[in-house]
Amino acid sequence: MKTGYAFKNCNVIYGEAGRGVDTHMTILIQDGLIQEIGKASDVAVPGHYQAIDVEGKYVMPGLINAHVHLFADGKPFTLSASEGLLDFAFHHLLDTRLGRSVLKKRMKRNALTALHSGVTTMRSVGEFLYTDVQLRDEIKANQFVGPNLLVSGYFLSVTGGHGAPYLALVGDSPWEARRNVRINVKNGVDLIKICVTGGVTDARTVGEAGRLQMTEEEVAAICEEAHKIGIRVAAHVESTEGVRIALKGGVDTIEHGAEMDEEIINLYQNNPRALKGYTALIPTLQAAYPSAKLDLSLTKVSETVKENSRRVYDSMLKGVRQAVEHGIQIGVGTDAAMPYVTHYDLWRELDHFMRQTKLNPRRIIEQVTKSNAEILGIDHLTGSIDIGKQADLIVLEQNPLDNIQALADTAMVMVRGNLIQTPSVTRIQAVDELLDLVWTIQE
């Protein structure tokens, strides 16, 4: 049995925009679940509980990052090597016993960095060699205290498509696509991640990011195969036509996104092929912004990457604003692991989102907690502070509703009732300095 805890005299932010902040509260936690919430004067703390007085501090649901990769940490990287060199690196370095061990240690370190920064749930949307499945299973078996992980294993892509061939299972017809769903399911994934269009990181020419790669028939086959066993499909898409094909095929989330038209808006809101009858948008603004907007002398990216990033970012931002305007379900993801996107700075995505959409902090907090949980299908477990839910909580010195940057410094983290009393994050100074520069120049 896990230790019982009592957070006493706290200010509670529930994760729902319509609920205010309750002050002088006590939260009782036992067996990893929230057992009672009430005014400190009304709640008796059992003698065997560990009482933690957090007077003046704020307790809120743990953050949910709905779009991450664990294989890298946010330092700049390049995929400009030749195909031959990449093939050698994959088969002779990564796909070896030593390579797999190094990869797993790095992914575990990145997951723990996120957890210590307040991210109690992560949806990993594309990794090598099913290492994400292994980590999830070790966490579930209590081999170490890690975040709640939802994992996708390999991308599903097409010949020459985004992530292919090293990060993806490749298929070039609806039946080959179904086969790849079945392979991932057999390997224990929680969701399916597909690449409907090209992406910025491995595009060789301007315009390749966002170029349509999958057909509607391939997308529909994947969605049908996944949905029949209740598994969601997340789609990497970076163009308007890509979004249209993905929605018509029945995907459950659009990752990144693009500018919409009336047909697309309607399909987001009412998508008969999607598992729940609608499709949500998971933008990743902070992933594209530095490369798109900063001078090449700072980012050191190529002209091709910069121009592709600019096109993708500008269209994605238009899509985000349209989603807000039309009440489309929006989640929060960062694309952590990509250049200049670390696993500990989720607050930057929230801050960027608020600046660009004028949404208030209550809505933004709800998106990164309760709404994300709903989109991922785990709102019965986590995402808000409610009796019976997992004790996935963070304790903050300052009120994030007054200043979202309060999320940059967590005083305590709890995941499934496991308390991290002094969380510690190793930061990447060069990346932080560049991102601080981005923060000062955002429009």
pLDDT tens-digit readout, 158-196: 999 999 999 999 999 999 999 999 999 999 999 999 999
Identify the pLDDT of residue 84: 53
Q: What is the mean pLDDT of residues 102-115?
A: 97
Q: What is the mean pLDDT of residues 335-359?
A: 95
Each residue of 253-271: pLDDT tens digit? 999 999 999 999 999 999 9
Given a cut of 90, whether residue 244 has pLDDT beyond it is yes
What is the Cα–Cα distance from 212 to 283, expressed in whole angstroms? Answer: 18
Closest CA to 31 of 388, 413, 385: 388
Contacts of 23 (CB under 8 A, 6+ apart): 11, 12
Question: What does DSSP assign to residue 15?
Answer: S
Beta bridge partners of 327: none
Tokens coding 241: 């036509």
Given a cut of 60, whether residue 1 has pLDDT beyond it is no
Contacts of 82 (CB under 8 A, 6+ apart): none
Average pLDDT, the chain: 94
- What is the side-by-side strand order in the sheet with 253-256? 168-170, 155-157, 191-195, 232-237, 253-256, 280-282
What is the Cα–Cα distance from 296 to 71, expressed in whole angstroms? Answer: 25
- Tell me the percentage of the chain whose pLDDT exceeds 90: 86
Contacts of 258 (CB under 8 A, 6+ apart): 210, 237, 238, 239, 240, 242, 243, 312, 315, 316, 318, 319
Instruction: Please give the residue that has the higher pLDDT: either 55 or 439.
Output: 55
Q: What is the mean pLDDT of residues 352-360?
A: 93
Given a cut of 80, whether residue 355 has pLDDT beyond it is yes
Report all structural domains of the chain as residue ranges with CATH numbers, in order of start.
5-61+383-420 (2.30.40.10), 63-376 (3.20.20.140)
Given a cut of 60, whether residue 290 has pLDDT beyond it is yes
> Whole-prediction pTM value?
0.96
CA angle 61-113-384, nearest 5°? 10
Strand ranges, E, within 171-314: 191-195, 232-237, 253-256, 280-282
Q: What is the mean pLDDT of residues 285-310?
A: 89
Q: What is the mean pLDDT of residues 401-413?
A: 97
Given a cut of 70, whether residue 130 has pLDDT beyond it is yes
Q: Give the H/E segment covering residue 106.
A: helix 97-116
Identify the pLDDT of residue 439: 72
Question: What does DSSP assign to residue 129?
Answer: T
Maximum Cα–Cα distance for the chain, whole Å?
68
Given a cut of 90, whether residue 79 has pLDDT beyond it is no
Q: What is the mean pLDDT of residues 264-281?
A: 98
